[in-house]
Amino acid sequence: MYSDEAIAAVRRMQSYIEEHIAEPISLSQLAKAAGYSPWHSDRLFKELLGKTPFEYIRSLRLSKAALKLRDGSPKVIDVAFDFVFDSHEGFTKAFSKQFGLSPKTYSKETPPIRLFIPYPASN
């Protein structure tokens, strides 16, 4: 069982991630939002949410990118850059690994995929 303060710290990190999802995010920024050291913030986040902060960020970015591809007709490269991927190739590789198909295929066919839906940290 975690203290209310520990849960609140992770929720602050989750809020920071949501507010800055289209920008580069560092562990030191998350730690500052949490009010803990980077090491402790990383450990606490993983213990409460089952993902490291960067796994969480990547899953959230990819899910938001999938929604953007589904709901519009943007270029894949534009979506990649919108969600802080450095290249089309890196985005395509991450998207394919997460969802089992390329972003181009997904944008054309929009089959059902399992999106990452974050929930607030709790006990």
H-assigned helices in 50-87: 53-71, 76-82
d(CA 1, CA 47): 11
| pLDDT confidence of residue 1 | 81
Pick the CATH number of 60-109 from 1.10.10.10, 1.20.1250.20, 2.60.40.2250, 1.10.10.60: 1.10.10.60
pLDDT band at residue 105 using 50, 70 and 90 as cut-offs: very high
DSSP-assigned letter for residue 123: -
Structure confidence at residue 119 as a pLDDT band (50, 70, 90): very high
Q: Is 115 helix (H, G, I), strand (E, B) or coil?
A: coil
pLDDT digits (tens, 9 = 90+) for 55-86: 999 999 999 999 999 998 899 999 999 999 99
Sequence spans of domains, the chain: 4-50, 60-109
